[in-house]
Amino acid sequence: MFTKVLIANRGEIAVRIIRACHELGIQTVAVYSEADREALHTQLATQAICIGPAKASDSYLNMTSILSAAVVTGAQAIHPGFGFLSENSAFATMCEEMNIRFIGPSSTIIDLMGNKANARKTMIAAGVPVTPGSEGYISSYEEAVAQAEKIGYPVILKAAAGGGGKGMRKVYQENGLEAAFSQAKAEAKAAFGDDRMYLEKIITPARHIEVQILGDSFGNVVHLGERDCSLQRNHQKVLEESPSTFITETTRKAMGDVAIRAAKHVGYTNAGTIEFLVDAEQRFYFMEMNTRIQVEHPVTEMATGIDIVKEQLRIASGEPLSFTQDDVAITGHTIECRINAENPALGFRPSSGKIDYLFLPSGGNGLRVESAMYGGYMIPPFYDSMIAKIITKGDDRSEAIAKMRRALQELVIEGVDTNQFFQEDILQDPNFISGDYDTEYLQNVFLKTWAPEVEERV
């Protein structure tokens, strides 16, 4: 096992990884930007090193500074968390060349699965069902027109190097394709430095269901069940739950088997997630593979009792998986709500500033909170707006929902705007309660009629 690990991230995921390391007796190195000098992860880590100015490109995306920090502190491994450099194959390669363990899959696999068009080809070769789409990249608008006509509208344009909902545009008829193609390419170029596009058929109505996997260097691969991530706004997940109430046991088993087959086909190691779209007839289609820990990994940890981050550390240090597929069991029902510093009543405008008062819900069986906030903390305006995750588990879905409502009612964050009340309203929505929703529901139905209350709720 490692004796010292550097965490190349910030916020709640950095805190989460630091805690797992310390529980395993591993010393930790936090890196931080000038804007994060007082951040919680810098206070909890064994050591903390400033790696640059507030701008992410000068700090959390600065590969040279991060690797220099690892060398100076004697860190044997780097955990990238999610976002930033977590799916950057060049960074993983640099780690490998410097004999620093990158806690994740190899750079070759990151490169293969990170390019969405190549990932499609690889999954087809593995016998994994994929959505109808273009073969390879689309280099021009004219080619996009031809491919869309071949596949049939509606279609979605996607950035080959994309992720996080960026570089994506839905097109329902040809007269909207030209503008969408131009916008998606520009957004992809700005976000990823790569404007190559591909095109897929839109599956609608559909559920977004992902399968968590773990693989070690001895050829063992297991799946930890599924998460239903269908409640989304602008392709961004808002609330996740496990198990899915939509898929049948037959579909659940088939998806798990396919996920393992896909991972073994590419020789996958460490934690990863395979995302599927599932249509009304229970047909499922590969969307993409995330070669990193997911934001919503606590859902699976609560559902199974397996610590995914600790397994990542063990696998990266050369140990085999500590359990087999037969040991994995999902019990009860788990829900996660993402708490963002934003104002839903003002178009989800991001919010930053000082947290004047904070009370995080605690106590009661089946409640977990992941956050890096504290009273007096200054939320910087430079990074992602997510500031906390609340996870609840009940014997069944109704109990998990009731616990989440209670937790959100207890949560108090003063000084910045949050989406707390928006999440409370989702939990009260009859269609959510009945499980009657899909990937389009939040954007095209719920938000069309949602009216935020002006008065403060207590």
Cα distance between residue 266 and residue 391, in whole Å? 32
Q: To 5 degrees, how large is the angle CA 313–CA 318–CA 323?
A: 70
Is the Cβ–Cβ distance between 244 and 207 less than 8 Å? Answer: yes
Distance, CA of 245 to CA of 247 (rounded, Å):
6
Q: How far is CA 440 from CA 26, 319, 360, 445, in A?
A: 43, 42, 31, 8
| Secondary-structure percent of the chain, ordered helix, strand, coil, rounded to 5 | 35, 25, 35
Alpha helices (H) in 193-345, listed in sequence order: 249-266, 297-304, 308-316
Give the angle subtended at the CA of 315 by the CAs of 311 and 316, to the nearest 5°.
115
Dihedral (CA of 154, 159, 165, 168) sign:
negative
C-alpha dist (Å) from residue 138 to 106, 173, 181, 191, 231: 28, 18, 10, 18, 29
Q: Which residues pair with 271 in a beta bridge?
A: 214
Q: Is the dihedral of CA 368, 37, 294, 4 positive or negative?
A: negative
CB atoms within 10 A of CB 424: 16
- Joined tokens for residue 193: 């430095």
Return the number of other C-beta atoms located less than 10 Å from residue 101's C-beta.
18
175, exposed or middle or buried, with CB in 10 Å at 0-12, 13-18, 19+? exposed
Whether the bond between 129 and the residue before it is cis, its omega within 30 degrees of 0, is no
Active site residues: 292
CB-based contact 338:389 (threshold 8 Å): yes
Residues contacting 458, CB < 8 A, separation 6+: none
| Contact by Cβ (8 Å): 391, 371 | no
